[in-house]
Amino acid sequence: MKVLTKSIATNPFLLDWIGSGASKDNEANVISMLSNIAKDNNLSNASFADRKTAKYWNQDGFLRVLKDGNLNGWFFAFTNGNKEESASTYAYPNGNVDVFKLSTT
């Protein structure tokens, strides 16, 4: 999981896309890439969040802008902290559980 999250966090295509304003033109390529990562690794989700804008995508597309609070506190605790990596879990009402592994490098 550590290698996988690092590969997403440091992916040159994603970093260039975010750095140039996350254009709609390349959003389909980002979604396709995340979908392939999820399928290839038998994951329920593969996601990417822009640390500066808190915009959040997964293999299904743009989800939302994360807001600080109970639901997204994991993201803001990480981006406001000084750790290079973090892991947290989220349990859905239906019993599914997602693990969020964050990496800066």
12-50 pLDDT tens trace: 999 899 999 999 999 999 999 999 988 888 788 888 888
47-81 pLDDT tens trace: 888 888 889 898 999 999 999 887 788 788 878 87
Q: 6-10, 17-21, 40-44, 99-103: which has the highest mean pLDDT?
A: 17-21
Helices assigned H by DSSP within 1-105: 2-9, 12-19, 24-40, 73-79
What is the residue range of 81's domain?
Answer: 2-103
User: Structurally, how many domains does the chain consist of?
Assistant: 1
What torsion do the CA atoms of 21, 1, 87, 75 make, to the nearest 10 degrees?
Answer: 10
Can you give the pLDDT at residue 86?
A: 65
| CA pair distance 79, 44, nearest whole angstrom | 24
